[in-house]
Amino acid sequence: MRQRLIIKVCGMSEGENIRAVEQLGIDWIGFIFYPKSPRCLCGLPSYLPLRAKRVGVFVNETKENVTMYADRFGLHYIQLHGTESPDYCQALLNKGLRLIKTFAIFHPKDLERTSHYTGLCDYYLFDSKTREYGGSGKQFDWNLLHRYAGNTPFLLSGGLNLYSAPAIRAFQHPRLAGIDLNSRFETAPGIKDVERIRAFHSKLRGSDE
């Protein structure tokens, strides 16, 4: 039996919705601080998770602003979704921040970029490639990840939905650490369907226990 997968729900914005999702036993909750995203968190919500880890998502943001948001929102992880360089990551690491770097995957060569970030990130996140920053809501070919031989654990993202649990259970990789849920579990941008997440959580966790 493999290690219990981290379940991250990303792109949340409303206090009571955050509270309800956390109560399902979700491990990480993500907040997007990218102004062009329809899920951008513009202000402090009425509730922030107390048990689930808080993840802040940024796209080519200044290091000063990332540090400010990390302090204001009590972020446990910084997820970088842009073209942030290894030197940029090192600077945040020097400030004591823990990092997740996102890589858009379409060709095997897309995995080669991960080697430049070795030792700088706690996790990678592998997502579908799009023209804009952020996820596409579509799944990429997970078979490409069998070419990933790095030591940094990763989260799987891109088009996961209520019916993805069997495919996730069937996918085997020694560095698979968790999954990232977003647009396919919403009633509106930034508002998650709690019952849909509950059903998915039950299906996936049943395989871990």
Question: Element (H or E) spanning 53, and its range?
Answer: strand 53-58
Q: Are strands 191-192 and 53-58 parallel, antiparallel or unpaired?
A: unpaired
Nearest to 180 by CA among 142, 127, 117, 130: 127
CA distances from 41 to 105, 125, 161, 166, 189 (A): 26, 21, 23, 32, 11
Q: How far is it between the farthest Cα atoms of the chain? A: 43
Contact indicator for 99, 122 with CB cutoff of 8 Å: yes
23: Cβ–Cβ under 8 A, 6 or more apart, which residues? none
* Residue 17, phi then psi, degrees to nearest 5: -65, -40
Residues annotated as catalytic are 10, 127
The token pair at 204 is: 């996936």
- Cα 141 to Cα 139: distance, rounded to the nearest angstrom: 7
